[in-house]
Structures are given as structure tokens and as C-alpha cells.
A and B are shown apart, each in its own frame.
Chain A
Amino acid sequence: MAAKARTRPKAVVESTGGEPADTLRDYYERMSLVRAFELRSSEMYARAKIGGYCHLNLGEEATVVGLMAAIEARDYLFTGYRDHGYALLRGLAPERVMAELFGKVTGVSGGRGGSMHLFDEETRLFGGYGIVGGQIPPATGAALALKFQEAAGPDAAAVMCLLGDGTTNIGAFHESLNLAGLWKLPIVYVIVNNGLGMGTTVEKASAEPDLYKRGASYRMPGIRVDGDDVLAVRDAARDALKQARESRQPVLLEVMCYRLRGHSVVDPARYRSSEDTTIAQQSDPVPSFRAELIASGVLSEADAAAIDDAADARVSEAVVFADGSPEPDVADLFKYVYATPVANAPAALPGEPVMDAL
């Protein structure tokens, strides 16, 4: 099964030594926030406050925190639909993210995108995308634009493109990596390998299940890192981004983590072996990082509890905000279809006549 073929150390952070206590505390706060936000999203979905598809980062928190600690404000981020945690840690207010999930006008995408389509120009979160692999060619093109717009160097921007393990099987992934390799683009493709694409294991979906090796076809460095180790993820991603921004060397980074629950909030994941579920639970990075910080004296039990409570309170504020926000106005239905006004742009509501018969 998926779990057996995955070679990883135990799910504890092994490299906290030398890391400032403040940083570690900060990372735990972020992990706790993502955890609280996702649990609440699931609850809000069950209460029909959130609709459509809703995919959570539960179990992937260390990966999310590590990647978002590595990326710089000037960098661009493209992701798939499992995007809540990334948006939060990119610096978006939980209010605006929750409001998007609630389909409110105050949401990051004005309530038009929903869970799968978070976008924020200011923080350079250039989209959650719901079509598998849809983000990969545009992310590659963003890296191409950066090449036009600025010189390589330590201050240059780069692109981070997140994708799932299952997504490495779509043609767009291979075409894009080839382009990036040929054109020497400043981009890091990050495979968030949670072992499953919906119900299909990596081994059943990819003829080369060591996904980081897929970079070899494009002469692109491929690196695998333990996604439950927040510092290892951060350091690997930083190094990859450095190669991208300074040497215009695209990198393929595979981050090994687990999906704690179903593919989306409505999936009970009955297809999953109990063994795999147990491993996922045992590897849960949030309690293990918490325990490690307590064991190493960075946090007391009370500190950790206070952080968890604060995260929960923060999410509660977000829910209150989202709940109290207005829905988008139906009069604005056509507002964003075109950037510039165009003659005869359709604006009929269903059943409205498009021509006067007389």
C-alpha cells in the first residue's frame, strides 16, 4: 500500500536544534491556525454555510507552514484547489478566506471562486485552480514573465507552483517541466505528495512512484523531503527557490505528507486501508510538533494550549465576519466578464429576450 513504499523517518522534527525558540513557536502558531481553520471549514460545510467542493489541508500542516516560511513576499504562488492553508499563511486575513468559502462579497475572490479558487493579487497568491494541472502551465508562464522583467539574483522573484501527487500524471505537468527546463525558468514545482489522488494511491497512478525522479527527464534537480518535518520542508524549499531565483534553475521538490481525511469534506474515504489511516494519524504533524516543542522546553503545555485557543478564537472571528458579510449583488453578475467595455456584450438574465421582435 501507499504507506509501505514511502520511506520516511518518524514524524517528529529532528532538526529543531539551533532554531530560535521564537521561530519554532511561530511555526506552531501557524500550524495550529491552519488546523483550526480546516476543522472549522469542515464543520461549516456540514452546516451548509459552505457549498460546492471543499478540500482541506488536514495532515499537511507542516508542509504548508514549511513551504510558506520559505517563499518570499515577492515570489508568486500558484496552487491547486487544496489551498486554504496556503492562503492563510501567505498573509491573507482568515476573515477574507472564510468569507470566500461562504460565497460572500468580502471573500478573496469576491465570492465567485469558492474554496477551490482563492486569489489575492496583493500577496501574489495567483490562484487556487480546480482543474487538475490547470495551474502548472500558467505558473510556468509567470516564471517566463519574470525572466523578461528582471535579472536573476538573490533579490529576484521566483514562482512556486504547488501540485498534488496525482497531478504529476497529467500531460500539462510534463509539458511544463520540459518548457521550464528548456527555457531555464525561475520556478519551483512542489509536489505535495499526500499518497493519494482522490482514492488512488501513488503506486497505482504513477509508473515511476518516486515522483521527484520525474525531474530527471527534464534535467531538473529532483528532491524529496519529509513533509511532516516543518524545518526540513522550509530549508529544502528555500534552497530550491534560491536555485530558481539566482541560477534560473527550475527545481522539482517532492514533499511527503499524509492526508488525514477524505479527498474532500464529503468523502468518507472508505476505500482507504485501516493501516494507511493509522499511519496517517500517527504521522499527524500538529500534535507531534506540539509534543516536541514541549519536550524541548520551547513551549509549556499551557503555552501550547493558549496557542491552540488563540487559533480557534481567530477562526471564530473569521466565521462571524463571513457570516455577517453580504452576498454578492445579483446586479453585479456580469461585472467581471471583460476587462474593458465591449459593444453588445451579453447581459441577459435567463429568459430575457435578446431581441425585440418588432
Chain B
Amino acid sequence: MTETVNTSRTITYRQALNETLRAELERDEKVFLVGEEIGVFEGSYKITAGLLEDFGPERVLDAPIAEEGFVGAALGAAMLGMRPVVEIMTINFSLIAIDQIVNHAAKMRSMFAGQVSIPLVIRMPGGGGQQLAATHSQNLEVWYAHIPGLKVVAPSTPADAKALLTAAIRDDDPVIFLENLSLYSAKGEVPDGEQVAEIGKAAVVKTGTDLTIVSYSRGTTTALEVAHQLEGEGLSIEVVDLRSLRPLDRDTICASVRKTGHAVVFEDDWLSYGIGAEISATIGEGAFDFLDAPVRRVAAAEVPLPYAKALEKAALPSAADLARVVREVLNISSNDK
């Protein structure tokens, strides 16, 4: 953090994003926003409300439905030193732009021997649980977290939304900024004044001694809920919020597990080849001797997410699933508390 300010306000994640975009548009004239329906419509999820009115159509660009085109165009503008902040309506639609992101944005700096930088931010929400069915409910961040040259951040709180978005916009590399549909209305304390997070750092958001839950984005909210609930059962749970998926803060994860001896990864995504797989492998390397039980993953059932409420609910990992697995790992039956 660059500046110490002692005042703070309780605002929503949505408002934190909106205010940060506004502050960065004001601060740096190279910053501009582009995306579908971000101007007149004020964003599908109203993140850009009021910005067209205040900054005009040159800096808040409504784009047609052409993800590959406008993401690539933002990339091109970034090559000439602009600082575009793209909104893709949801992460699902980023698949149309993935060639520009993976084959181009992520490659240029290395492939052209450092002659060009790509100060590009791509904001997009992921997440299921709203009956949006298979194509509109995905958590595809691991696709991007896999790619060298990209940075991928995933704030779980309004304060981090502010500090990480500020950092992302000021960063000279392409940053995928992951939001979550179910976090937009979440409230939290946000410090006033300039806040710039360090990308690549995880945070221990609750300390504990018995077991470490590792999660990110919406998952961290659930992890904290479960940790507090289990506190009542006499279990001391530590929660690590990844905040950055690439780079990954392996030290913070392993330091926590070395202390607690138990780890569970909670993720909204499908299990195989997921973020949890990476975390588990990291713990296997960095905290093997400290483990008292195998690392477990609580993730989504590996099925295209159905629309029907009961099926959707069964397929998505819940707080109850997480609590159950934590107890299993600690070898405590849910009956003998």
C-alpha cells in the first residue's frame, strides 16, 4: 500500500470496482474502457454506471458483440502505450477472444524480446449458481492461469477489488481480472485513498492452527463462513485467499500448511486439472513432511452445469460440502462435536 489513510467505508464489491475505474480514468488519460454495453446500458452488471456520462464516449467505448475484435483492438492500443481496461460480459464469452489473449497478448513481450509491453486489463466475471446453464456458468480462470505471460488476479473482497484493480491497471503486463457474479453485491470495508496491491501475493485472511483452507474469489467467502462455523465446534481453521492465481504465492500456502498440517482446497471450478490440483501439488512439494492427512479438494462435479435448480445445486460445491471434508480430513465425524 502506497499511502496510509485511516478512514474507510463499507461499500459493495460493485461500487469498489466502479470507484476504482473512475479514479484511474481521472488519474491517467491513457486509461480507457471498452466492452459490450458498458456505456449506455452501464454494464450488464452495472459496474460502469455513470462513467460514460462523466468521461464521454471516447474513453468509455461501447463495442459491438465482437469479443475477438475488441479484445484484440485493446491489445493493439496497449502496444502503443494506452492502458485499456476491457470488460468481457462474462468469462464464458472470453473464449471467443482467447486467441488474442493467449496467442497474442501473452506472447508479445517475450516473443519480441521485451521491445513491447502490454498494459492491458481484461475484467470479467465467472461463476455459476444462478441457473444460467452450461455455457453461462463456467469458471475458466484456470485456462488463463496456465499461460505464462499473463497475470491472473481474483479479488474476494471489495477492498481487494479496489487494490488489485488499481494494481492491474498500473501494471505493464496483461492482467486477467477475475470477478464473480455472486460477489458484486457483497459488502466490505474499503480504505479510502489510493490503494495498490502487490500482484502475486496471497493473504492469510483468517488465522488458525488445525487446518488450512485455500481458496479464491467467491470461494474465499464460503471458506471464511465455514471456518467461523467450525470455530464453534472447537476447530481452528486458517484461510488462505490466493488473490493471485498467476503468479501463485506458493510460500504463503506452504507456510500455512506447515503450521496446520492439514489442507483442503475449495474451488468453484471442475476438479480435474484445476487450481486445486496445482495447490495440492505445491503442498506435496513444499509441506510434505508436515502433512498429517492427504490434501483434499472440494470442487464442482465434472458435468456441463445443468439449468435445473436441483441438479445445479448438486453439481456445485457448497459450504456444507466444505465443512464435511474439513471434518473428514481432521477425522472428526460431524456427529461427535
Contacts and interface: CB of A to CB of B under 8 A. Distances in A.
B142 interface: no
B68 interface: yes
Contact of B64 (A51, A130, A169, A351): A169
Interface stretch (B156-164, B171-179, B313-321): B313-321
A292 to B, nearest CB: 35
Nearest to B320: A351
A245 B6 CA distance: 73
15 contacts: A51-B131, A105-B308, A112-B133, A116-B133, A129-B135, A170-B96, A328-B311, A334-B303, A337-B304, A346-B272, A348-B302, A350-B299, A350-B317, A351-B321, A351-B322
Contacts of B96: 131, 133, 170-172
Given A327-B310, A346-B302, A167 B132 contact: no
Contacts of B306: 111-112, 328, 333
Interface in B10-48: 36-37, 40-42, 44
Interface stretch (A31-39, A193-201, A274-282): A193-201
Interface in B290-318: 293-294, 296-304, 306-311, 314-318
Interface string B227-246: 00000000000000000000
Nearest to A271: B40
Contacts of B309: 51, 103, 327
A171 B69 contact: yes
B136 interface: yes
B304 A205 contact: no
B133 A205 contact: no
B301 A113 contact: no
A130 B66 CA distance: 15
Contact of A130 (B136, B272, B324, B325): B136
Q: Which 10 A-B pairs have the closest CB atoms?
A: A114-B307, A199-B41, A51-B131, A103-B308, A351-B321, A52-B131, A350-B317, A169-B64, A346-B302, A111-B308
B271 interface: yes
A302 interface: no
B62 interface: yes
A205 B64 contact: yes
B65 A197 contact: yes
A221 interface: no
Nearest to B306: A112
Interface of B: 36-37, 40-42, 44, 62, 64-69, 92-93, 96, 130-136, 271-272, 293-294, 296-304, 306-311, 314-318, 321-322, 324-325
Chain A interface, >50% SS class:
loop
A327 to B, nearest CB: 5
A321 interface: no
A166 interface: yes
Given A328-B308, A328-B311, A333-B311, A130 B135 contact: yes
A170 B324 CA distance: 45
Nearest to B310: A327
A272 to B, nearest CB: 10
A167 B294 contact: no
Contacts of B68: 171
B133 to A, nearest CB: 5
Contacts of A271: 40-42
B307 A350 contact: no
A357 B325 CA distance: 14
A171 B93 CA distance: 13
Contact of B303 (A134, A327, A333): A333
Contacts of B300: 350
A108 to B, nearest CB: 12
A227 B240 CA distance: 56
B13 to A, nearest CB: 20
Nearest to B268: A350
Interface in A306-358: 327-328, 330, 333-334, 337, 346-351, 353-354, 357
A53 interface: yes
Given A349-B301, A350-B300, A327 B308 contact: yes
Contacts of A134: 135
Contact of B315 (A132, A170, A350): A350
B66 A350 contact: no
A6 interface: no
A16 interface: no
A116 B44 CA distance: 17
A103 B314 contact: no
A191 to B, nearest CB: 13
A200 B64 contact: yes
In this complex, the member of B135, B293, B311 whose beta carbon has the largest number of chain A beta carbons within 10 angstroms is: B311
A103 B64 contact: no
A353 B133 contact: no
A151 to B, nearest CB: 36
A166 B293 CA distance: 54
